[in-house]
Amino acid sequence: MTKKILLSLVLSLFVATGFATDASYDVIPLPQSIVMVKGKSFILNSNTTIFCSSKDDLMQKNAYFLSCYIADLTGLKLKVSDIKPKKGNYIELLLNNKNIKGEEAYTININNKNIKISGFTSAGVFYGIQTLRKSLPICNATNNPIVLPAAEIKDAPRFKYRGMMLDCSRHFFSIDFIKKFIDLIALHNMNTFHWHLNDDQGWRIEIKKYPKLVEIGSVRTGTVMGRNSDVDDSIKYGGYYTQEQCREIVEYARQRHITVIPEIDMPGHMKAVLASYPNLGCTGGPYKVGHNWGVYYDVLCIGNEDTFKFVEGVLDEIIDIFPSRYIHIGGDETPTKRWSECSKCEKIMQKEGLPINKLQAYFTNRIEKYLNSKGRSIIGWDEILDGDINKSATIMSWRGIEPGEKGAKMGHDVIMSPTSHCYFDYAQTKEQYSEPLTQVHALDVEQVYSLDPAPKTMSEESKKHILGVQANLWTEYISNPNLATYMLLPRMAALSEVQWTRPAQKDFKQFKIRATRLSKLYDKYGYIYALHLWQERYKHNRENW
């Protein structure tokens, strides 16, 4: 405990004094163990070499990324070599599956001769690189070498699933911004990008078997103006990603040890699909792509076999593009009104002996069985628990912690994503008079930080089923990249410690100090972010969006 207190004082001193050439290991997320050791410091200068002997493509990418990070932050353009240098100091990247346990675990050993970043896998090495990256000062080091004090850092994440979701249906974002979003995920030690690709207000991915999905379903005739309004702007709005672009994103993420999980939300939130293929709805239409926010009664017709042929055809192309183990099938906010009035749905209920509230479970189980036959598993929003679904389905708990606890008790794997802590479309502050238009609710950084997805009250058996945590950026009111990063930051920093750091290590006051340092990186990369964490009466610059 004494060592931890002394270390905290030392690290706080680094931040407070702001020595331009001193590194600080006071990073976000906070590593499990940082021990300052006796010995001379490592001097990072233009003669330092990055050494990586591994031929693994991701290890080679790790070396490249490290060289880019150092160049961005310090101006030093270091040589990358697969041969250990005979002269000068070096940073070595290596795999070590003997002394390091855990898929994403890593160690960093720093002395005057070298810095060794070791990982059980290339992903572990990547997270060690992120820690080193965030330890560096932002300065011109071409004439002023950077001092890294001798230390031993040991680290591994608390949860194996650490995700962020971006809704690209309500508002469409460019491929360039998707890459920036993935860069933010990497910066915060997250490993999953959940890509919400369809909703009532727009279909966003090319499906070659069903071309009308992008010809018709990707464009709405207008977008609602204001909050809870029925008036739209009558301006056509749309966009979609080609399959080639999606593969580009998958590869971009893979190189950064991030898995892309696509979401095709069904059987509700399907107005864009029904506008494209009206025969898939209970009434037969006509339908149009949604322009208001909220929940629509029109959903896929479960009594129509063409519905299942369509879904399977879409999923065939989705799984060809996305190699992820999981496919997210949505399942949230699905009204039964149209089913209750549909003769086809009535027939299937009679045939299968189903009450109407089990019809969605029938749909979910059929789709899960199909995906399982293709070697994939499903994730669904917690409403899918309302039916009799297979235990192999993973639950994403958004309506609070309780549905997740229920799912874990039933034997389902669970990803916690409660609105109370993880909905980043909520305002950054209760003082919304000077904020951009958002959802009416507020969610500040401290509230995000307070989340414990596996609290002490949960049984040990249930805790085994908590895979991790995810936050979601729904984009009804978020129409451009600057506003998106404003809503994300610095809440992503708080989320990263929920996902990575052990509860006993969490301390919001210390986090706030470390967030100050991280904000310098946000500035360096030009991210627009909220300042309420540091300025209670902060007013954003409306010119940013």
What's the CA gap between 417 and 379, in Å, rounded? 13
Nearest Cα to Cα of residue 180 among 249, 255, 262, 238: 249
Nearest Cα to Cα of residue 155 among 28, 250, 325, 297: 28
User: Are 44 and 76 in contact, with CB atoms under 8 Å apart?
Assistant: yes
DSSP type of residue 300: B
Count of CB atoms situated within 10 Å of the CB of 80: 15
Cα 534 to chain centroid distance, Å, stands at 24
The CA-based angle 47-53-57, given to 5 degrees, is 110
Residue with tokens 């204001």, as numbered in its chain: 226
DSSP type of residue 22: B
Cα 108 to chain centroid distance, Å, stands at 25
What's the CA gap between 273 and 326, in Å, rounded? 22
Taken in order 322, 327, 332, 338, the sign of the CA dihedral is positive
The CA-based angle 228-231-233, given to 5 degrees, is 120
What's the CA gap between 218 and 272, in Å, rounded? 7
User: Are 203 and 240 in contact, with CB atoms under 8 Å apart?
Assistant: yes
What's the CA gap between 427 and 447, in Å, rounded? 12
Looking at beta carbons, which pairs linking 207-211 to residues 24 or more positions away fall under 8 Å? 207/313, 207/314, 207/317, 208/243, 208/317, 209/313, 209/314, 209/316, 209/317, 210/276, 210/277, 210/310, 210/313, 210/314
DSSP type of residue 11: H
Q: Annotated catalytic, 305?
A: no
What letters, b where the CB count within 10 A reaches 16 and e where it falls short, cover 132-148?
Answer: bbbbbbeeebeeebbeb
Give the contacts of 65 (CB within 8 A, at least 6 positions apart).
Answer: 126, 129, 256
Nearest Cα to Cα of residue 344 among 289, 281, 423: 281
Q: Which of 248, 312, 317, 333 is catalytic?
A: 333
Nearest Cα to Cα of residue 207 among 193, 194, 218, 223: 218
What's the CA gap between 158 and 6, in Å, rounded? 24
Nearest Cα to Cα of residue 239 among 182, 288, 174: 174
User: Are 172 and 480 in contact, with CB atoms under 8 Å apart?
Assistant: no
Nearest Cα to Cα of residue 124 among 145, 143, 102, 146: 102
Q: Tell me which residues are annotated as active site.
A: 333
